[in-house]
Amino acid sequence: MGPFGGKQKKRKSIEKKIVDMKVLEKAGRSCDDVIKTVNYITPQPLLEYPKTAQVRRGYFKGNYPAATGIVVHSLLRPDWPIEIDLLAVLE
């Protein structure tokens, strides 16, 4: 099993962390309002990074936001393989 788990359970864990933030909902918005994502990814899971596209398709329907991927040495929490920032329009 790789850093992203290679398994549905690990991917669901990543999705749950995104959903648990509820930042968009608190602002009265949804994933439809996201215009850009920035993924900070550590070197260890880099080969499995393309699997994140499945997660994106689950949240963003049709109008996909711009996406930037940045490889970093490490993240603040060593058990996180990836950190995702969302930029949304709030009008």
pLDDT above 70 as % of the chain: 77
Cα(16)–Cα(14) distance, integer angstroms: 5
pLDDT at 2 over 70: no
Q: Which two tokens stand for residue 54?
A: 């499945």
**pLDDT at residue 72 above 90?**
yes
- pTM for this prediction: 0.70
- The architecture in CATH of the region 8-88 reads 2-Layer Sandwich (3.30)
Tokens for 86?
């969302």
User: Looking at residue 86, what is its pLDDT?
Assistant: 84
Average pLDDT rounded to a whole number, residues 68-76: 92
Give the tokens for residue 81.
């393989």
- The pLDDT score that the predictor gives to residue 48 is 84
CA gap 10, 16 in Å, rounded? 10
pLDDT of residue 71: 94
